[in-house]
Amino acid sequence: MTLVDPRSPSPTARTEGSLLPSVLNAEEWALLSAAGVTRAALPGEQLFCRGDDAQSMFLIDTGQVRLTFEDGLADKVLGPGQYFGELSVFVGQHQRFAGAVVESAGVLFEITATAFTRLLEREPAIISRFMQRSFSYLLAGEQQLMQSLSRRNEDLMQTLDTLRQTRSELSFAQQLVRSDDLTGLANRRGLYRYLDESQRYPLAGKRLALLLIDIDQFKRLNDLSGHLVGDSVLRAVADEVRRIAGPLELPCRLGGDEFALVLRVVDEGDLANRALGLIASIRALRLPSLREKSLTISVGGVFCSDPGGWSSWYSQGDLALYEAKSRGGDRWRLAL
């Protein structure tokens, strides 16, 4: 063990005006080390853990001790002449704010609360000045910690704002990928995604069905009235398709003047009513820009049942749609 002469400074102590925050002056070192129990410290030894009940403070005679704070705070390495764990003798038992691990072999003095109380009674002036300086050091540390946490909180808020913006942009990008620019309905990608996810929502006694919808004579309408009018017609039909779609049902535009509507219906009669209702609502539209008095659509319907899948359902619905158009349009047919 290294012997310390009470009349000389501790191994790394400075004059009173230039002491390191946690370094004792010669007078303090002499009193406190004499009141402590000497113990050897081996590298890697855990002196205490964060959260342990605190019952004593320590002086470092030789060697080094690392204080670990967690929560992203930097460790502190203390050396000869410094002390730590003082709150346990200042204010009584509490939980340790940090852990302490021996960094390099040395000798420590361990001072219990009882021994410290006797010192305070015997040398109140010296111990009071030591406590005052220590509390100032602790307060400065707490203020530094609060500033650090404040900066970390600001950084965290900025990171969260960035994440929210990125998520919003990603959501918008995904929406663009899944929706039709002109009408705002789902596109083919959105339809495929819906079909993939539809199994997550029980049908509850209903059947999944598909309506394929074409605007009658749309090419002629475009040629006579122009593409701007054609676009307004597409948007108007899209609005009607969207209007009759219920919860967990999907209206979409497949391309050109072809729309689709995935429905949840009870039976064939229910599907027929939905198709006929859509046909009637389109027939009732009046668009000022149209030369024709009214619009009509053709509709093909099919029940979506396994086995099959989208390709099979689409083929059957398309055949039914072709039959409706071949009969003059403005009607619907159900795939057999």
Q: What is the pLDDT of residues 35-91, one digit of tens each?
A: 999 999 999 999 999 888 888 999 999 999 999 987 667 788 999 999 998 888 887
Does 34 share its domain with 117? yes
- Say if residue 299 is in the same domain as residue 212: yes
Q: Is residue 153 part of a domain?
A: no
Query: Which amino acid type is present at position 47?
Result: L
329 domain-assigned:
yes
Contact, 272 vs 332, CB < 8 A? yes
- Whether residues 300 and 214 share a domain: the answer is yes
Most distant pair of Cα atoms in the chain: their distance:
116
- Give the CATH number of the domain where residue 309 resides: 3.30.70.270
Question: Quick one: 98 and 220 in the same domain?
Answer: no
Query: Any bridge partners for residue 179, and if so which?
Result: 186
Inform me whether the pLDDT recorded for 2 exceeds 70.
no
Same domain, 214 and 305: yes
Predicted confidence at residue 125, as pLDDT, reads 87
CATH, residue 61: 2.60.120.10
How many CB atoms are closer than 10 A to CB 58?
A: 23
Q: Which stretch, 20-34, 162-176, 229-243, has highest mean pLDDT?
A: 229-243
Select from 115, 147, 179 the last residue of a domain: 147
Tell me what the mean pLDDT of segment 251-267 comes to: 94
| Residue of 211 and 152 predicted with greater confidence | 211
Mean pLDDT for 213-237 is 91
Residue 47 lies in a domain: yes
Sequence-separated contacts (24+) of 171-176 with Cβ below 8 Å: none
* 99 and 203 part of one domain: no
158 in any annotated domain: no
Considering the domain boundaries, does residue 176 fall inside one? no
156 in any annotated domain:
no
Phi–psi pair at 10, nearest 5 degrees:
-65, 165
Distance CA 289, CA 327 (A): 27
The pLDDT value recorded for residue 41 is: 93
What SS3 state is found at 215?
strand
Whether 119 and 229 map to the same domain: the answer is no
More confident residue, 19 or 186: 186
One domain, residues 84 and 194: no
Average pLDDT over every residue of 130-147: 71
Is residue 35 within 8 Å of residue 111, measured between CB atoms? Answer: yes
Q: How far, in Å, CA of 253 to CA of 181, rounded?
A: 10
User: What confidence category does residue 173 fall into, taking pLDDT thresholds of 50, 70 and 90?
Assistant: very low
Name the domain boundary from 84, 118, 147.
147
For residue 11, the model assigns a pLDDT of 42
Residue 7 in this model has a pLDDT that exceeds 80: no
Q: Give the chain's domain count.
A: 2
Higher confidence at residue 81 or residue 150?
A: 81
Instruction: Examine the pLDDT at 162 and tell me if it is beyond 70.
Output: no
* Whole-prediction pTM: 0.50
For residue 287, what are the domain limits?
A: 188-334
Residues of the chain above pLDDT 90, percent: 47
Residue at which a domain ends, from 88, 120, 147: 147
* pLDDT at res. 244: 92
Position with higher pLDDT, 201 vs 303:
303
Residue 280: pLDDT band with limits 50, 70, 90: very high
Reported as a pLDDT band with limits 50, 70 and 90, residue 134 is: confident
| Same structural domain, 203 and 265 | yes
Q: Same domain for 125 and 215?
A: no
- 214 and 301 housed in the same domain: yes
Whether 28 and 121 share a structural domain: yes
Residue 327 sits at φ, ψ, to 5 deg, of -95, 15
| Mean pLDDT (the chain, rounded) | 82
Question: What's the rounded mean pLDDT across residues 228-240?
Answer: 93
pLDDT of residue 152: 61
Residue with tokens 């998520």: 167
| DSSP, res 22 | T
How many whole angstroms from its chain centre is CA 158?
Answer: 13
Category of 332 on φ-ψ map: left (φ > 0), alpha (ψ -120 to 50) or beta: beta
- Determine the Cα–Cα distance for residues 36 and 34; give it in Å rounded to an integer: 6
- Confirm whether 8 is domain-assigned: no
CB atoms inside a 10 Å sphere around CB 127: 19
Sign of CA dihedral 142, 144, 147, 153: negative
Cα–Cα distance, 6 to 33 (Å, whole number): 9
> Tens digits of per-residue pLDDT, 18-43?
344 578 889 999 999 999 999 999 99
**Count, residues in the chain:** 336
Does 166 reside within a domain?
Answer: no
